[in-house]
């Protein structure tokens, strides 16, 4: 069991997606923090070393939260290089945020050295009345990438734990 833990410690998960899609809130939600309606912009990137129990199993990993602005693209590229898993996030109320994850996906293909696990999150599913991106759009995209897909809400915590669990499993397999 010691061995598994030390391996997981080296797992690097990167959050990527446009500004405002809810990356930082998803991290906070996963960490059990309270949801905030007003969030400070993430500048550059922030890393957290996380120890979490999922299904009674204690896991440790590094979680990289990126800014999302295009002016940080060259920085984001570097994070993709040795990532074991990337969580690509769009906002179901913003069509342009889906275009952004397509672009980021391509960047991962170009930069990732050992191939990393990818998961797609369509966030803010609690805002059903403002939905602009149908669930089928997300499903199709994930299928074309051969990756898992969840519609999530950092606010209600819908699918947050499930999504994390999935990417951690897949990142661990790739390690
Ligand atoms: P980031 O730039 O991707 O890190 O986005 P933030 O986490 O800073 O969130 C941007 C804004 O979206 C904030 O006002 C959040 O309160 C809001 N937000 C984030 N996630 C959700 C969600 O699941 N549902 C709703 N309704 N709002 C969210
Ligand atoms: Mg942020």
Q: How many CA atoms lie within 13 A of 13 on its CB side?
A: 28
What angle in degrees, to the nearest 10, is found between the helix axes of 23-30 and 160-174?
Answer: 90
pLDDT band at 73 (very low <50, low <70, confident <90, very high): confident
On average, the pLDDT of the chain sits at 85
**pLDDT score for 93:** 98
Taking CA atoms only, the protein residue closest to ligand 1 atom 19 is 22
ipTM: 0.99
Which tokens belong to 29?
Answer: 């939600």
Query: pLDDT tens for residues 113-162?
Result: 778 999 999 999 999 999 999 999 999 999 999 999 999 999 999 999 99
**pLDDT score for 21:** 95
pTM for the structure as a whole: 0.89
Q: Which of 19, 23, 25, 132 to mutate to test the pocket of ligand 1 (most atoms within 8 A of CB)?
A: 25
What is the Å distance from ligand 1's center to 3 Cα? 36
**pLDDT score for 40:** 65
Q: What is d(CA 97, CA 124) in angstroms, rounded to the nearest whole number?
A: 12
What is the Å distance from ligand 1's center to 96 Cα? 16
Atom number, ligand 1, closest to the C-alpha of residue 123: 23
Taking CA atoms only, the protein residue closest to ligand 1 atom 25 is 124
- How buried is 169 (Cβ within 10 angstroms: 0-12 exposed, 13-18 middle, 19+ buried)? middle
- How buried is 22 (Cβ within 10 angstroms: 0-12 exposed, 13-18 middle, 19+ buried)? buried
Pocket lining: 40 vs ligand 1, CB cutoff 6 Å: no
Which tokens belong to 72?
Answer: 């940080």
């Amino acid at each position: 069991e010691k061995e598994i833990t030390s391996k997981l410690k080296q797992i690097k998960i990167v959050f990527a997606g446009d500004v405002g899609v809810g990356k930082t809130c998803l991290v906070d939600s996963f960490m059990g923090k309270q949801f905030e309606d007003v969030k400070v912009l993430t500048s550059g990137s922030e890393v957290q070393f996380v120890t979490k129990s999922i299904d009674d199993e204690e896991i440790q990993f590094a979680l990289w939260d990126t800014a999302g602005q295009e002016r940080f693209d060259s920085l984001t590229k570097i994070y993709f290089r040795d990532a074991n898993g990337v969580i690509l996030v769009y906002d179901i109320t913003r069509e342009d945020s889906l275009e952004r994850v397509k672009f980021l996906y391509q960047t991962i293909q170009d930069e990732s050295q050992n191939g990393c696990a990818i998961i797609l999150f369509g966030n803010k599913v609690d805002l059903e009345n403002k939905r602009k991106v149908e669930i089928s759009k997300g499903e199709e995209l994930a299928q074309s990438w051969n990756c898992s897909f969840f519609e999530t809400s950092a606010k209600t915590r819908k699918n947050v734990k499930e999504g994390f669990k999935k990417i951690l499993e897949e990142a661990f397999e790739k390690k």
